[in-house]
């Protein structure tokens, strides 16, 4: 079984070809970072236009690198939401055109399910598993029980953690995209210099909150006055990163209690989404999993951030179960798991 997967829900245009045994035959990702950088964030109109300009070329490249033609495909998958609607439409309409021309099934994929199922392609792990899904738009703790079967244990009550990384980077003038910039600066900083809050820590339940932390970073920056040195910025980035990760760990510890009670056979703890590329988070989660007797499974960094392979794989998982879509499938800006 061979599936082409298209992704265009945010600021990456991506196309990939994946087979049913998890082999990635091609995985082409074109980042729009340079187009959005002058604005310090993703501009939806610019994103949609860039997807339109690039998608055909990327599909062509992914097919050529995989050394196949449309007639070799068993299905075509595209992100159908959630995301910036102008962008989602580009990938979905392209997939519909290919499905029509090649006379193959269309599979509309929930972008979050794409992130959530990636570890089954990379590591072949079985259901159930506990998933910390952390990206620019989402922060959730989910039990993944099966394809299309998710149980949400916690979510953010305000900002997503990736968004907090991005906004902190913007405040500190570290550039865009924020996550990798904060991580790089934090590596040179003193994480204990600034005392920042760990929102929601110690509270019952598993929900997150990151807007108070963001405000605390702004205040700490203002308290530094007019002359902020490079070292100040690195120290603040490190203190922020530590607080954000502490907060994620606290919530995950809560979730593990529920998970252990209700899913005694589950042995895997998984992180996915763009923030899973953060090495400090990975180290801390690795320590936690060891201590609690779980195995931490993390996709390689380039499969953590948005890509087409995760969409193609989710397409394969759905196609195997006969979960295909009609050509009138609508794109959705909002689509909770
Ligand atoms: O999953 P993703 O590529 O797109 C969404 O679906 O949102 O995640 C992007 C997010 C951004 O907020 C970015 O700053 C964050 O992931 N990110 C990171 C790192 N790499 C990407 N955050 C922290 N550390 C990183 N190394
Ligand atoms: Zn994503």
Strands (DSSP E) contained in 157-302 are 268-272, 295-297
Proximal ligand: closest to the CA of 114: 2
Q: Separation of 135 CA from ligand 1 center, angstroms? A: 5
Pocket test for ligand 1, best of 164, 171, 275 (most atoms within 8 A of CB): 275
Using CA atoms, how far apart are residues 228 and 235, in angstroms rounded to an integer? 11
CB-CB neighbours of 250 under 10 Å: 17
84 within 8 A of 335, measured Cβ to Cβ:
no
Pocket test for ligand 1, best of 10, 41, 135 (most atoms within 8 A of CB): 135
CB-CB neighbours of 282 under 10 Å: 17
- CA distances to 7, 14, 16, 56, 189 from 60, rounded to whole Å, are 14, 11, 10, 6, 44
pLDDT of amino acid 37: 85
- CA distances to 109, 172, 202, 240, 306 from 189, rounded to whole Å, are 40, 13, 27, 10, 28
Instruction: Domains for the chain: give ranges and CATH numbers.
Output: 2-117+303-320 (3.30.420.40), 128-298 (3.30.420.40)
Q: Give me the sign of the Cα torsion angle 329, 331, 335, 337.
A: positive
Q: Separation of 179 CA from ligand 2 center, angstroms? A: 13
pLDDT of amino acid 74: 98
Return the HEC string of 58-90: HHHHHHHHHCCCHHHCCEEEEEEECCCHHHHHH
14 within 8 A of 28, measured Cβ to Cβ:
yes
311 within 8 A of 83, measured Cβ to Cβ:
no
- Single out the residue of 151, 177, 172, 174 nearest to residue 162, CA to CA: 177
Residue nearest to atom 8 of ligand 1 (CA): 274
Per-residue pLDDT of the chain (337 residues; tens, 9 = 90+): 999 999 999 999 999 999 999 999 999 999 998 899 888 888 999 999 999 999 999 999 999 999 999 999 999 999 999 999 999 999 999 999 999 999 999 999 999 999 999 999 999 999 999 999 999 888 999 999 999 999 999 999 999 999 999 999 999 999 888 999 999 999 999 999 999 999 888 888 999 999 999 999 999 999 999 999 999 999 999 999 999 999 999 999 999 999 999 999 899 999 999 999 999 999 999 999 999 999 999 999 999 999 999 999 999 999 999 999 999 999 999 998 8
Q: What is the pTM of this model?
A: 0.94
DSSP for residue 277: G
Residue nearest to atom 23 of ligand 1 (CA): 179
């Amino acid at each position: 079984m061979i599936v082409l997967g298209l992704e265009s829900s945010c600021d990456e245009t991506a196309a990939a070809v994946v087979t049913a045994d998890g082999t990635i035959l091609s995985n082409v990702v074109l980042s729009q970072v340079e187009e959005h950088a002058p604005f310090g964030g993703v501009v939806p109109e610019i994103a949609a236009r860039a997807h339109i300009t690039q998608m055909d070329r990327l599909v062509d490249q992914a097919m050529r690198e995989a050394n196949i033609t449309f007639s070799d495909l068993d299905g075509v998958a595209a992100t159908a939401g959630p995301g910036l609607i102008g962008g989602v439409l580009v990938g979905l309409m392209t997939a519909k055109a290919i499905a029509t021309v090649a006379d193959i099934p269309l599979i509309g994929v929930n972008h979050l399910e794409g992130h959530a199922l990636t570890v089954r392609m990379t590591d072949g792990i079985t259901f159930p598993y506990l998933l910390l899904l952390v990206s620019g738009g989402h922060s959730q703790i989910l039990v993944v029980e099966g394809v299309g079967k998710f149980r949400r244990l916690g979510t953010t009550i305000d900002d997503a953690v990736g968004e907090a990384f991005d906004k902190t980077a913007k405040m500190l003038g570290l550039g865009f995209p924020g996550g990798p910039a904060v991580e790089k600066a934090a590596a040179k900083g003193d994480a204990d210099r600034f005392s920042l809050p760990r929102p929601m820590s110690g509270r019952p339940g598993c929900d997150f909150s990151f807007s108070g932390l963001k405000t605390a970073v702004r205040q700490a920056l203002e308290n530094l006055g007019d002359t902020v040195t490079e070292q100040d910025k690195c120290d603040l980035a490190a203190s922020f990163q530590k607080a954000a990760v502490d907060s994620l760990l606290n919530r995950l510890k809560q979730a593990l209690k529920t998970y252990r009670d209700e899913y005694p056979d589950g042995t895997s703890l998984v992180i996915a989404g763009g923030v899973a590329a953060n090495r400090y988070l990975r180290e801390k989660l690795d320590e936690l999993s060891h201590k609690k007797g779980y195995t931490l499974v993390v996709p390689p960094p380039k499969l953590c951030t948005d890509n087409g392979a995760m969409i193609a794989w989710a397409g394969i998982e759905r196609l195997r179960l006969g979960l295909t879509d009609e050509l009138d499938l609508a794109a959705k800006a909002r689509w909770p798991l």
